[in-house]
Amino acid sequence: MSTPQDNSRPFGYRLAIRILRPLLMLLTRRDWSGAEHLPTEGGWVVCTNHTSHVDPLPFAHFLVDHGYAPRFLGKSQVFAVPFVGAVLRSADQIPVYRESGRAADAYRAAVEAVRAGKCVAIYPDGTLTRDPGLWPMRGKTGAARVALETRCPVVPVATWGPHEILAPYSKRLRLFPRRTMHVRAGAPVDLSDLHDRPVTHEVLLEATGRITAAITRELEELRGERAPDRRFDPREAGVTTTGRPRPTAGAA
């Protein structure tokens, strides 16, 4: 495998790696596969599923140990946490201001990062999955927008195991016995037939569906089971799309 070109690591990045990587090596086992699918030239988008607030750690561990320095899109509230926010900003991570006048800032920053040759990590679920079986939900279109704007590769990655350390919306860490973090990358999603089409809502949904389906296929391999035929949609199910799941107003 060639040496990745996306290896820029500002101070905050180096600090986070120095603190977190030894802890992850000590507290988790690793089952990693598919690194041959990771691009070695130019900017690109990498997408994975979201089952636990711990997810970004093994996901980043996988990428960093293979020579990449992913820029994550993360909710702005995390950037407001003392020290943590300072490290994230110093590490060149990208805040997402949900449902605000600054919501487009993250998109512009992600496009700029890809065009600068960086790896940008995006969770299509947009939040912890609400699917009862922890499968990927009907995805949001952010990753597709960035990919179609830049025509960059989109690599699907499945992550499985972090929920055993911290279940969705739980506050109880379960560090022992050591859990295995399974991370599997798949071949880039083919969006080439969409590149010359107007970026309509229908095109974005098509691209997003392909990305989510590719992540799901890799997750099926990790879990050794088949995902439901119908993708879970929080709006159809009458639950909130961000924060701790709860019935939406008017839901049965």
pLDDT in tens, 86-139: 888 888 899 888 666 677 889 999 999 999 999 999 999 999 999 999 999 999
Q: Model confidence over 132-170: pLDDT tens digits? A: 999 999 999 999 999 999 999 999 999 999 999 999 999
Contact criterion met (CB below 8 Å) for 239 and 130: yes
Region 67-86: mean pLDDT is 86
Asked if residue 250 is part of any domain, the answer here is no
Indicate the number of domains in the chain. 1
* pTM for this model (two decimals): 0.93
Sign of CA dihedral 88, 175, 246, 237: positive
Asked if residue 120 is part of any domain, the answer here is yes
- Residue pointed to by tokens 């993250």: 106
Higher pLDDT residue, 245 or 1?
245
Where does residue 229 rank: exposed (0-12), middle (13-18), buried (19+ CB within 10 A)? exposed
Asked if residue 4 is part of any domain, the answer here is no
Give the model's pLDDT for residue 97.
Answer: 81
Give the model's pLDDT for residue 200.
Answer: 97
pLDDT at 250 over 70: no
CATH number of 229's domain: 3.40.1130.10
Tokens for 33?
Answer: 């596969």
Residue 98 CA, chain-centre distance (Å), reads: 16
Task: Identify the domain containing residue 16 by its residue range.
Answer: 11-168+177-236
Asked if residue 24 is part of any domain, the answer here is yes
Strand order from edge to edge, sheet including 119-122 = 28-33, 179-185, 154-160, 44-48, 119-122, 71-75, 94-96
pLDDT at 21 over 80: yes
Residue 96: CA atoms inside 13 Å, Cβ hemisphere, count? 17
Residue 218: CA atoms inside 13 Å, Cβ hemisphere, count? 28
